[in-house]
Each structure stands twice: as C-alpha cells, then as structure tokens.
Amino acid sequence: MKKTVLRRRKMSGSAAYAPVYIFVLFAVCVIFSAIFVCHFFQKSPTHGDFMHEEKTVSKDDTFLPSDDTYVGMPGSTSKNENTPDTENITPYESERESGPDTEAKANVSKDSWMLILVNKDSPLPDDFSVSLADLTGGHRADARIADELKRMLDDMRKEGLSPIICSSYRTNDKQTQLFENKVRKYTADGMTRADAERAASMWVAPPGTSEHQTGLAFDIVDKSYQLLDEKLEETPVQRWLMKNSYKYGFILRYPNEKSSVTGINYEPWHYRYVGVTAAREIYDSGLCLEEYLKAYAHGGI
C-alpha cells in the first residue's frame, strides 16, 4: 500500500517538472543556435583578439584625428577597436586571417611594406615616400599604422601607465642634423671625421638609414624617466612594451644582445612596427629583424 502511494507521488512529481525540462531543452537549443550563427558570421568576441589588430588606413586616406582621437589622449578610443572594417584590410592581412597560426610564416613576405629593412647596409631608396598621419605633440607616423599605435598607447594609459613619444617620423634633413650633431661631439673630443662618423652611427643612424624616416619607428619613454639610456628598461612603460608591444605589431628593434647584428647599440626606447604576425614571431623566436628576415620571411626578389 505504502509503495503504491510513493510511486504515485514520484510520478506526479516527474510530471510536474515536465514543463521545466521542456523549457531547459528549448533554452539549450536557442543558445546553440546563437553560437552557430555568431560563429558563421565570425562575430563571436573570441575571434576579435587578433582579427582586427593589423587594420590600416589606406595610403590615400588623410588621417587628421579630431581632438578626442589624438594619439596620446587619455580616455580616447580607437575607431578600429570594436568596429570590424574589412574594406581596409590589405590582401596580406586577409590571407593571414584566413589561415591558422601555423601558416603565418607563409604569409610574411619581405616585400611587405611593414617589413622594410632599413639599416646601414640597406638604406632607403632615394624616391622613398610615405603618407603620414599627424599625432599629438607635432609627431607624425605612417598613416597605415597610426591607429594601431594609438590603440597601444591608449591601452597602456588604461593600465595607469604614462608613455610619451619623444621621437617619431623624421625627414632626411632632420636625420642629417641629428647625425651631424653627434659627429661634432666626437670630433670636438679629438676624433677624426671618419672615426667620429663611425662612433656616431652606433647611436644615430646616418641620413637615409634611419627607421625614423619610414614613419614606422618611435622612441617611447616613461613620463617618470625620460633619459635615453639603459636605465629606461626598468620603467613600467618599458616593461609593458617589452611584454606586450608585439600584440600591436611592434618590436623592440635594437635588443641588448643584438648590437653586432643590427649595428645599433641597445635602445630600450626604440619600437618599430612590423605587423602582428612578424612581431609575434620575432617576440617568440628572440631574433632581431635582420635575423628574422633571413630565417623566416620568404620572397624579396
């Protein structure tokens, strides 16, 4: 008798929960359908990490940021940060996005504008020109990377850091002036002109051989320490840059242990844009740009 009553209670309990089971089943179906639709259109937030980091402004665009979008303005937001903008993605970027990370190497070409090698052995061509974007403080950058630079600096500020660009794009005249100033200091110390030029070139690239003439290189210091010496590497800004700049396509261009390859002394302040794919591979491999171009990138002819 008791067993019969218990069985009836159980049955009536199960029946009472039936609408709940149906609702849960329906909810699960809705969630899976939503995930499928998001995935299909590639708008899932999980795809956003690297998808839009290399977006560029086309060469013909004139980038004159309004007051609230200046590079370096605290609290400003990048127009690219959350807005997919596939129209401006170059073929290089489209290829990279379509393939898995393991295929990234195949998409890095020496011919890519963002991998241009500029050093004493590889001067800029005489007819080199670049479309520039204005930054705050009278600085200028290659218009194609201005948004990425701005996004990196904005993200640093969001974390309470105070980065300052102290050098950006330079004209050939400006580079000549900086180089001559350095040479003069050495000749004043008694060096011959040839020796002075050699010594100066370890600190300031001779005209035509400076990455600053490309608009892709920037000297970034910490507000708390603005001297261009090795102590800069201990500042919060430099620590952040060394750890995170590759995510934005930038590399520490002249690492301490690579002076014999780069021909430039250690410069913890000098960051160069090479694109997210190359920056990540350079960061992971520990190579400098010269070594990376030999070992990884294809093409060039």
- Tokens describing residue 82: 């959350």
Binding window for Zn ion (CB under 5 A); candidates: 48-56, 139-147, 152-160, 215-223: 215-223
Binding window for Zn ion (CB under 5 A); candidates: 89-97, 170-178, 212-220, 258-266: 212-220
- In terms of CB distance, is 258 or 270 closer to Zn ion? 270
Q: 46 CB contacts (<8 Å, ≥6 apart)?
A: none
Distance between CA atoms of residues 247 and 100, nearest Å: 17
3-state secondary structure at position 146: helix
Site string for Zn ion, 34-53 (x = CB under 5 A): --------------------
Distance between CA atoms of residues 71 and 283, nearest Å: 25
Q: How far is the CB of 146 from Zn ion (least distance, A)?
A: 17
Q: How far is the CB of 279 from Zn ion (least distance, A)?
A: 17
- In terms of CB distance, is 156 or 264 closer to Zn ion? 264
3-state secondary structure at position 72: coil
Tell me the CA distances in angstroms from 113 to 145, 215, 300, one per residue in order.
Answer: 11, 11, 11
3-state secondary structure at position 133: strand
Size of the site for Zn ion (CB under 5 A): 2
Query: Is residue 55 within 8 Å of residue 80, measured between CB atoms?
Result: yes
Distance between CA atoms of residues 273 and 245, nearest Å: 9
- In terms of CB distance, is 197 or 219 closer to Zn ion? 219
Q: How far is the CB of 138 from Zn ion (least distance, A)?
A: 16
Q: How far is the CB of 165 from Zn ion (least distance, A)?
A: 10
Catalytic residue among 233, 267, 281, 290: 267
Site string for Zn ion, 235-274 (x = CB under 5 A): -----------------------------------x----
**Interface with Zn ion (CB under 5 A), residue from 61, 97, 219, 233:** 219
Q: How far is the CB of 204 from Zn ion (least distance, A)?
A: 9
Name the strand (E) or helix (H) holding 23: helix 2-40
230 annotated active-site:
no
User: Is position 95 an interface residue for Zn ion (rule: CB under 5 A)?
Assistant: no
Distance between CA atoms of residues 115 and 275, nearest Å: 8
**Residue whose Cβ sits closest to Zn ion:** 270
Binding window for Zn ion (CB under 5 A); candidates: 31-39, 102-110, 190-198, 218-226: 218-226
Distance between CA atoms of residues 161 and 60, nearest Å: 33
Q: 206 CB contacts (<8 Å, ≥6 apart)?
A: 120, 175, 179, 197, 200
**Looking at the annotation, which residues are catalytic?**
267
* Residues in touch with Zn ion (CB under 5 A): 219, 270
